Amino acid sequence: MRRYALFLGCTTPTQVLQYELSSRWICKQLGIELVDIEDFVCCGINQSNISIEAGLLLASMNLALAEKRGLDILTLCAACTGQLAEAVEKLEDPKIRDRVNSKLKTVDLRYEGKVRVRHISRILYEDIGVDRLKEKVKIDLSRLRIAPHYGCHYLKPASAFKGFDDPDNPKTLHHLISATGAYPIDYETINLCCGGKSFPVSEDIARSLVKSKIDNLMLKKIDFLVVQCQTCYLMYRGQQRALNQKFNRNYNIPVLLYPQLLGAAMGGDLRDDLGIHLNGISLDDFTKKLGVDLPYIKR
Amino acid sequence: MKLSELGPEFKTEVMSHKEAEGLNLCFACGTCTAGCPIHEIFYEYDPRKLAKMVKLGMREEVLASPYIWYCTTCRNCEQRCPQNVKFFDILNVLKNMAAKEGYAPHSWIEQTKQIMKNGIIFSITEELKEKRRALSLPALKYNGERAKKILKLTGIDKVKDQGKA
């Protein structure tokens, strides 16, 4: 049995509950035990804007809390992944670790440098593997054409993810989508950022980034845009509606989180296990797209 | 702007932060700007130009610029830099300095307050608790006490929203 400390972050457990729900469900099916740690706090990435040290201390606190329980961390949010993995890398330097530990002391914590931080998709890819995921697939999704979106912090800073995938030409999410039977397409703006971290400062600028990607995707024949971060999800799902109002468009690309796609292929209950209805997608439309007659509500 | 108003002091000040040590290696090739998604839609935001302005010593122009906060943190600039300059880190140093002078956007300051209260950047409302219960998700028990203690050590709680941004 694999055990990980589940790092939910701020946004997933408060605004994108279906990401948490579907992640918990697929992990359970795949024999990955997720441990909830009540005293986790924000990863600190946004605080780095006003104090790099504050961002590092928040990240270090979380690492220390996982280490105390002897667990590595499984993340859902791309930004948390980048922030925590970067902190792990920084804290390899004994001088920085000593400085941080002298501050962690005030909250009775200490970090020795033993924690590994990986995103759920990376853990699926590395620990379970595409071949074993394929064996778990019960429902044929081969009709679906999917646009993958990776999320910037999933692979950057590159030095914190040594040897895992290529930030300029990423492929792991393509492979994970293929594992479900669906077809991952390539498209011109695949590496374009969702704009989520600009949004609190300038909504117009952030929305323009969403528009560039959606304009590109509207020209493609796809069934879903699949993301692996709740911020990317909120940007693409929420801002399409805002853009429709502002520019009188008809953007309507449905967005799924990767565990929802995998879960659907594994035969999960679309409502109770995966929360597909929370993405604003009707379960009837969803099953129609899949081309199968799913008993999607077990009760 | 007069030449006499420029000088190396600002660059030295920025580079005294470990994160910005690599600034001297920048030869202004513009690979950062070419890969910047914000620049593509908003011409005035320009990483190469900002690096140059720091080197020239344009302190006030850089720190008071609202544009430095527009970065979406995609990190393409550092990823693609042939000189391995970490512009993303340098920009964070600049934003940290700007914050001390009262230029931090309201949103980031508000988030810090939330973390000191709740441990995360959002409040856990009754409505949310009910939503989580309905989906059989475990109750959230975040608590800001520890975060507050540790954040106070950095002085981030004293960064004031002076309404300049």
pLDDT of residue A290: 84
For residue A49, pLDDT beyond 90: yes
Residues of chain A contacting residue B99, judged by C-beta atoms under 8 Å apart: 49-51
Q: Which of A87, A119, A151 is the last residue of a domain?
A: A119
Confidence class for position A289, pLDDT limits 50, 70, 90: confident
Q: How far apart are CA A90 and CA A96, in angstroms?
A: 7
Non-local CB neighbours of B155 within 8 Å, separated by 6+ positions: A51
pLDDT of residue A291: 77
**Is residue A240 a part of any domain in this protein?**
yes
CA-based nearest distance B94→chain A, Å: 9
In this prediction, residues A37-65 reach a mean pLDDT of 97
**Is residue A200 a part of any domain in this protein?**
yes
pLDDT of residue B163: 62
Range of the domain at A231: 131-290
Is residue A257 located within the same domain as residue A195?
yes
Cβ–Cβ of B73/A153 closer than 8 Å?
yes
Q: Nearest by CB to A49, from B74, B92, B135: name it.
A: B92
Chain B contact present for A188, CB below 8 A: no
Cβ–Cβ of A107/B73 closer than 8 Å?
no
Q: How far apart are CA A165 and CA A154, in angstroms?
A: 10
Q: Nearest by CB to A197, from B72, B112, B121: name it.
A: B72
CA-based nearest distance B39→chain A, Å: 10
CA-based nearest distance B17→chain A, Å: 10
For residue A287, pLDDT beyond 80: yes
Q: CATH 1.10.1060.10: which residues of chain B? A: 3-100
Non-local CB neighbours of A197 within 8 Å, separated by 6+ positions: A45, A46, A79, A231, B71, B72, B73
**Is residue A208 a part of any domain in this protein?**
yes
Is residue A44 located within the same domain as residue A173?
no
CA-based nearest distance B5→chain A, Å: 27
Cβ–Cβ of B111/A24 closer than 8 Å?
no
**Is residue A298 a part of any domain in this protein?**
no
Residue of A nearest to B92 (CA): A49
pLDDT of residue B2: 86
Residues of chain A contacting residue B17, judged by C-beta atoms under 8 Å apart: 52
Is residue A105 located within the same domain as residue A148?
no
The 3 state secondary structure assigned to A14-76 is: HHCHHHHHHHHHHHHHCCEEEEECCCCCCCCCCHHHCCHHHHHHHHHHHHHHHHHCCCEEEEC
pLDDT of residue A298: 47
Residue A297 identity (one-letter amino acid): I
Percent of chain A with pLDDT over 70: 97
pLDDT of residue B21: 93
For residue A116, pLDDT beyond 70: yes
CATH number at residue A92: 1.20.1050.140
Residues of chain B contacting residue A11, judged by C-beta atoms under 8 Å apart: 121-122
CA-based nearest distance A39→chain B, Å: 6
Is residue A97 located within the same domain as residue A158?
no
State if pTM tops 0.80: yes
CA-based nearest distance B16→chain A, Å: 14
CATH topology of domain B3-100: Fumarate Reductase Iron-sulfur Protein; Chain B, domain 2 (1.10.1060)
**Is residue A112 a part of any domain in this protein?**
yes
Cβ–Cβ of A49/B140 closer than 8 Å?
no
Cβ–Cβ of B80/A52 closer than 8 Å?
no
Cβ–Cβ of A54/B154 closer than 8 Å?
yes
**Is residue A125 a part of any domain in this protein?**
no
Is residue A142 located within the same domain as residue A254?
yes
Residue of A nearest to B40 (CA): A209
b/e map A212-250, b = 16+ CB within 10 Å? bbbeebeeeebbbbbbbbbbbbbbbbbbbeebeeeeeee
For residue A299, pLDDT beyond 50: no
CATH number at residue A264: 3.40.50.11810
The answer for A 213-272 residues in CB contact with B (under 8 A) is none
Residues of chain A contacting residue B41, judged by C-beta atoms under 8 Å apart: 205, 208-209, 212
φ and ψ of A148, to 5 deg: -80, 145
Is residue A138 located within the same domain as residue A236?
yes
Q: Which of A60, A87, A119 is the last residue of a domain?
A: A119
Q: Nearest by CB to A41, from B92, B96, B120: name it.
A: B120
Q: Which of the residue ranges A126-135, A174-183, B140-149 would you say has the lowest mean pLDDT?
A: B140-149
In this prediction, residues A98-108 reach a mean pLDDT of 97
Is residue A56 located within the same domain as residue A95?
yes
State both tokens at A74: 């499984």
Residues facing residue A4 across a β-bridge: A34, A72
Cβ–Cβ of B92/A103 closer than 8 Å?
no
Residues facing residue A5 across a β-bridge: A35, A73
Query: What ipTM was estimated for this complex?
Result: 0.96
pLDDT of residue B142: 86
Is residue A7 located within the same domain as residue A155?
no
For chain B, 165 residues long, give each residue's pLDDT as a single digit of tens: 888 889 999 999 999 999 999 999 999 999 999 999 999 999 999 999 999 999 999 999 999 999 999 999 999 999 999 999 999 999 999 999 999 999 999 999 999 999 999 999 999 999 999 999 999 999 998 889 999 999 999 999 888 776 665
Chain B contact present for A197, CB below 8 A: yes
Q: How far is CA A260 from CA A6, A141, A182, in A?
A: 17, 13, 13
Q: How many domains are there within chain A?
A: 2
Percent of chain A with pLDDT over 90: 93
In this prediction, residues A275-298 reach a mean pLDDT of 81
**Is residue A296 a part of any domain in this protein?**
no
Instruction: Encode pLDDT of A216-234 as tens digits.
Output: 999 999 999 999 999 999 9
Cβ–Cβ of B120/A196 closer than 8 Å?
no
Q: Which of A99, A119, A139 is the last residue of a domain?
A: A119
